[in-house]
Amino acid sequence: MVNLKAGTRPPWVGLGAAVWVQIASGNAYNFPLYSHSLKSVLGFNQHQLTMLGVANDVGENVGLIPGIACNKLPPWVILLIGALACFFGYGVLWLAVSSKVQSMPYWLLWLALCVATNSSAWLSTAVLVTNMRNFPLSRGTVAGILKGYGGISAAVFTEIYSTLLRNSSSKLLMFLALGIPVLCFIVMYFVRPCTPALGEDSSEHAHFLFTQGALIVLGLYVLSTTILNHIFHFSALISNTILVIMVVLLMAPFAIPIKMTFHRIRVSKPEMHHQLVESSESVIQEDSADKTEPLLKSSSSAAALGSFRENVEASEVAMLLAEGEGAVKKRRRPKRGEDFRFTEALIKADFWLLFFVYFVGVGSGVTVLNNLAQIGSAQGVHDTTILLSLFSFCNFVGRLGGGIVSEHFVRSKTIPRTIWMTCTQVMMIIIYLLFASSFDGIVYAAIALLGICYGVQFSIMIPTVSELFGLKHFGLFYNFMSLGNPLGAFLFSGLLAGYVYDTEAAKQQVPNLLSSSSISCSGPNCFRLTFLVLAGACGFGSILSVILTMRIRPVYEMLYAGGSFRLPQASIH
């Protein structure tokens, strides 16, 4: 039997703790903060550096093992594994950058970076899967909040890097190696499976609004203080005060369970759900059939579902007759919206359409992120911290906003969430063309818009894959989709951007400097070809996204026809 924590308060305590873990899981976004030290201290060229960027993304997103483990191990074990990966991975990088160990081989650094950032996959999987199951009727909102905190994590780390660590790459790596494991040990008790509420809760919406508001305030605060510190160079006292206020804002989600402790919520009997939890299937069923309400009211379902519903009912009747006659022995294949096994999802066209759309969106975006310092330097912007903070804030806006907007329209208009991936990838085409044009002063606006579009990809993919293929094996599906990120980084950043940059940099060097192991490039040609290729890739992704949206529209009409999410009978978690 699965040991679930009962009550209305524990899920919110777990969400508050998950916020801190999600911030910690954004440690891979720190690569631009210490990449210049890897290049200068160890003497790498841009191609070697971009391949380390690929290692950064491979480690962060290759989470198939965490995806499988989350169905077999409790969340605290998943967090423990992530903490150990962080300690050993970033510990090796610290030894190299601080020159404690001389002449460390390149392959070892590549592997250490993979291990270090793979902690992100373990940490994110633990909190995301647990909270999606704790709040099954608010998947888009929960995904937007958690991924929003993950998006703002780069700005939080940048604040720590510039204020507490005084722009020291070696101190940052030591902080990641020691600080994140300590955090995981502190909060791992609170991230636990809880009894989910399968009914409407009037206070839940207000609690989510408060959490979203706290996240927005945190994002604005971190961005503004980072910019002001760059302009006015705050004293140590003011900088430390800013850091303390940031920590207080990160504690804001805990105000919900504290409030619930002093103001108990009375749950009416019709809203109470008695649940039986089976560990082997991770399925929660109601105790008696006479208390089960229909998924959709008859007055609205006929008009909303149309031929889709009729075909489903006809196929079910035929299957029941065949089973009754003994002609069919094996269970029927699940329909979209129910729980799929991984092998069953792999043969679905919608699964691969979603994967390729996500691959184009995040793969192209992470190429810019990994080369952010070099892109800024090539266009005359040498302060990476401002660009990274701006990208992080807008990434957070895209993640949080994508969850909120898609949740609104999917409930009110039954519009599939993937329509927003289409819109943002069309916008990304324009952004990459702006990068390629290299207009004066365009880099800040382009980075901001790209951050928003990049963030939307995450907050749309996560609830979409759970709605189409269920929550039972969600951890595995989510981590498989996340492979689009390192795949895109390898193709677009490792093979394309690094080669184009080094080729152009070699043209700009005088002959007696060509032997230098670390060369730099300046001017629009350093990344122009890369941006044109990325624009073409997003054009292809937009077409695939339109096809996917048209295919899954009937599924969303079934799931949200009543104006709120209805769990299919075979998929109640």
pLDDT digits (tens, 9 = 90+) for 14-45: 999 999 999 999 999 888 889 888 888 888 88
154 in Cβ contact with 388 (< 8 Å): yes
pLDDT digits (tens, 9 = 90+) for 158-178: 888 988 888 899 999 999 999
Contacts (Cβ under 8 Å, ≥6 apart) of 26: 120, 149, 150, 151, 152, 153, 154, 156, 157
> What SS3 class is residue 563?
coil
The count of other CB atoms within 10 Å of the CB of residue 299 is 8
State mean pLDDT over 469-482: 90
DSSP string, 136-184: TT-HHHHHHHHHHHHHHHHHHHHHHHHHTSTT-HHHHHHHHHHHHHHHH
**What b-and-e string marks burial along 23-55, b requiring 16 or more CB atoms within 10 Å of the CB?**
bbbbbbbbbbbbbebbbeebebbbbbbbbbbbb
Element (H or E) spanning 272, and its range?
Answer: none
Percent of the chain with pLDDT over 70: 82
pLDDT digits (tens, 9 = 90+) for 101-141: 888 899 999 999 999 999 999 999 999 999 988 988 888 88
Q: Which amino acid is it at 556?
A: Y
Write down the pLDDT at residue 278.
Answer: 40
> What SS3 class is residue 283?
strand
Average pLDDT, the chain: 82
Could you give the CA distance from residue 499 to residue 66 in angstroms, rounded to a whole number?
A: 33
Name which of 422, 406, 412, 413 is nearest 460 in CA terms.
Answer: 406
HSE (side-chain half, CA atoms, 13 Å) at 379: 23
Could you give the CA distance from residue 164 to residue 157 in angstroms, rounded to a whole number?
A: 10
Write down the pLDDT at residue 299.
Answer: 40
HSE (side-chain half, CA atoms, 13 Å) at 78: 31
Q: Which amino acid is it at 219?
A: G
Give the least confident one: 201-215, 260-274, 484-498: 260-274
Could you give the CA distance from residue 8 to residue 106 in angstroms, rounded to a whole number?
A: 51
Could you give the CA distance from residue 422 to residue 428 in angstroms, rounded to a whole number?
A: 10
Give the least confident one: 240-254, 298-312, 487-501, 531-545: 298-312
Both tokens assigned to 229: 């510190």
Could you give the CA distance from residue 459 to residue 439 in angstroms, rounded to a whole number?
A: 31
**What is the Cα gyration radius of the chain?**
24
Cβ neighbourhood burial of 295 (10 Å; 0-12, 13-18, 19+):
middle
* Higher local confidence (pLDDT), 146 or 511: 146
Angle between helices 442-469 and 139-163 (to 10 degrees): 140
510 band by pLDDT with thresholds 50, 70 and 90: low
DSSP 189: T
